[in-house]
A and B are shown apart, each in its own frame.
Chain A
Amino acid sequence: MTPLIKATKLTKVFGDLTAVDGIDFEVAEGESFGFLGPNGAGKTSTMKMIGATSPISGGELSVLGLDPATDGPTLRSRLGVVPQENNLDEELSVQDNLMMYGRYFDMSRAEIRERIDELLEFVQLVEKRNAKIQTLSGGMKRRVVIARGLINEPDLFILDEPTTGLDPQARHVLWDRLYRLKQQGVTLIITTHYMDEAEQLCDRLVIMDKGRIVAEGSPRSLIDEYAPGEVVELRFPGGVLETLNSRIESLAPRTEILADRALIYTEDAERTIGIVTETGLEPETVLARRSTLEDVFLRLTGRTLVE
């Protein structure tokens, strides 16, 4: 089957800055595909090229079998986009915002009204139909933007950092909605710098750093490949950590010393904690956990995702 998106040596250059540096990836229909990386990794630039709102600087890109450079309007009519910023019309009601957006796609008013009923139900904002955007919370606005992006029943739904800046509860509501979309078979493209978001929502993802793809796979396979097993996190009082570098590094083949804590990668967290105690180290707190994509990112780039 031909992929929904195919990028070959895709590049984006702004003046002297190479934001996207020759990346290759493919996204299949029905897949939920993630771009994980810190700010400035090139995720948003990639999204804008896919969304046909930013021309590519080099390489090749095909989206839904179309060339964004020549078929921009046709392509955009089949996409749904949730940009990083909400950019709703704050003075208008939820319903007016959705009606206005649907009309950009030349849908009939009756068709849009029907769709608004469904979508408000879906994003759980039925009772906010006539509320002005400026009266809504951040999480609600985000859900309106998601409804807006779905108004034209897109073949591909692009979300640029859908939950950045939201409180944990609002994030979980959003994740739940996006998970449902995924179950309905909607192809999702999600950028995020939250590893838990990527783990929850993405079938497959690429990890981006400085404009390049540094790894690709399912969340599980990436963890298995780059950060298998468990992690013991040790926190020490300020200043102490630097003096312990060599002692901590001798505890396991792989360790990471961060600004505020040390990570020890291990097959058996409990045994490692035993060893820590035996060697006379006295951390303030000890935490044993499974490895996550954050550890994969750290392993690949030597840096944390969210500083």
Chain B
Amino acid sequence: MATPLSLRVFEAEARVYRRTWRGSVVSSFLNPVLYMAAMGVGLGALVDANMPGGIEGVSYLTFLAPGILVANAMQTGASEGAWKVMGGIHWAKTWQARLASPIGIEGLVLGHIFWSTARVVMVSVIFAAVIAAFQVAPLLESLLAIGPAVLVGAAMVSATTAFTVRLKEISGLPMYFRFVVLPMFLFSGAFFPISQLPNWLQPVALITPVYHGVELSRSIAIGGSPAVTWWVSIAYLLAWIVGFGLVCVRPLRKRLTP
């Protein structure tokens, strides 16, 4: 039986990664270690001293860990949807090369989302291992908490790709990271509960994928029930993945097969 076109793209991306992984692996380890040490342990000591009952009943480090796991997955998804897409279309033009083979636009997009999500899984597994090493949550719970993180990462792969394929040049990407990704990273409930935000801003946090992922992930890692019903959050994240994945197709078709 013929291999699905998207899996052929997935394999190609894996082949590229096998030759270039060294650059990314150090930061995959270092990111969680630095965040956990600085925010969790350093800042956490101050927070805990001020809040005898803990945040939502736990220490700041414990509160934070599933949050940055998800926020970090979100960032990984955004980078995968940005630079690689830009390179494939505008720099190395390897996406054009693929389209001269039997691969079509749909297979190209799907394979790209699959592979980028696999990257989110890799980064999140390392992150979860670091969380376990800080003895915040047992390894099993840390690993389970990856599930929502991966959904959030995939949602951002789709959304960012849908944005990037519409760009004519790179200058839109730094803006996107500064004004969309960074605020989403900081204000979606990973570092503090969104109830701390001004009232008018809370609904904005509520529509970000990170918020839903953090709620799910936190409820798995430290118990308790998420603020939004779990299946609503999952459905919402899936809708991001599929919806933004679909809106990648038309602009890509216009750009690559005019």
Does A96 sit at the interface, judged by CB under 8 A? yes
Known: A14-B258, A104-B12, A106-B2. A89 touches B101 (CB 8 A): no
- Nearest neighbor of B98 in chain A, beta-carbon distance: A104
Does A219 sit at the interface, judged by CB under 8 A? no
**11 A-B pairs (CB sep. < 8 Å):** A14-B258, A51-B100, A53-B257, A72-B104, A83-B96, A87-B94, A88-B92, A92-B15, A92-B19, A105-B101, A106-B3
Q: Which of A20-28, A59-67, A73-81, A246-254 has 4 or more CB atoms under 8 Å from chain B?
A: A73-81
B interface footprint on A42-56 (CB within 8 Å = 1, 0 otherwise): 000000100101110
Q: Compute how far the CA of A51 lies from the CA of B97 in the bound complex, rounded to whole angstroms.
A: 12
| Range of interface residues on B (Cβ < 8 Å) | 20 to 34
Asked if A53 contacts B15 (CB within 8 A), the reply is no
Within 8 A of A (CB), among B51-99: 92-94, 96-99
Q: Compute how far the CA of A67 lies from the CA of B31 in the bound complex, rounded to whole angstroms.
A: 52
A interface footprint on B93-117 (CB within 8 Å = 1, 0 otherwise): 1101111111110000000000000
Q: Compute how far the CA of A123 lies from the CA of B16 in the bound complex, rounded to whole angstroms.
A: 24
Q: List residues of chain A with CB within 8 A of the CB of B20.
A: 91
How far does the Cβ of B7 sit from chain A's closest Cβ, in whole Å?
Answer: 10
Q: Compute how far the CA of A92 lies from the CA of B12 in the bound complex, rounded to whole angstroms.
A: 11
Q: List residues of chain B with CB within 8 A of the CB of A105.
A: 101-102
Q: Compute how far the CA of A87 lies from the CA of B89 in the bound complex, rounded to whole angstroms.
A: 10
How far does the Cβ of A95 sit from chain B's closest Cβ, in whole Å?
Answer: 11
How far does the Cβ of A150 sit from chain B's closest Cβ, in whole Å?
Answer: 13
Q: Compute how far the CA of A74 lies from the CA of B258 in the bound complex, rounded to whole angstroms.
A: 20
Asked if A96 contacts B19 (CB within 8 A), the reply is yes
Q: Compute how far the CA of A54 lies from the CA of B256 in the bound complex, rounded to whole angstroms.
A: 8
Asked if A89 contacts B16 (CB within 8 A), the reply is yes
Beyond A92-B16, A104-B102: 15 further Cβ-contacts under 8 Å?
A14-B258, A48-B257, A53-B99, A53-B256, A76-B100, A76-B101, A77-B102, A87-B92, A88-B97, A100-B15, A101-B97, A103-B15, A104-B101, A104-B103, A106-B2
Asked if A81 contacts B100 (CB within 8 A), the reply is yes
A interface footprint on B13-55 (CB within 8 Å = 1, 0 otherwise): 0011001100000000000000000000000000000000000
Which B residues have a C-beta under 8 Å from some C-beta of A?
Answer: 2-3, 5, 8-9, 11-12, 15-16, 19-20, 92-94, 96-104, 256-258
Known: A55-B257, A85-B93. A101 touches B104 (CB 8 A): no
- Nearest neighbor of B13 in chain A, beta-carbon distance: A100
Q: Compute how far the CA of A48 lies from the CA of B100 in the bound complex, rounded to whole angstroms.
A: 9
Does A90 sit at the interface, judged by CB under 8 A? yes
Q: List residues of chain A with CB within 8 A of the CB of B100.
A: 51, 53, 76, 79, 81, 83
How far does the Cβ of A119 sit from chain B's closest Cβ, in whole Å?
Answer: 16
How far does the Cβ of B106 sit from chain A's closest Cβ, in whole Å?
Answer: 10
Q: List residues of chain B with CB within 8 A of the CB of A90.
A: 92
How far does the Cβ of B94 sit from chain A's closest Cβ, in whole Å?
Answer: 6
Does A99 sit at the interface, judged by CB under 8 A? yes
Asked if A96 contacts B15 (CB within 8 A), the reply is yes
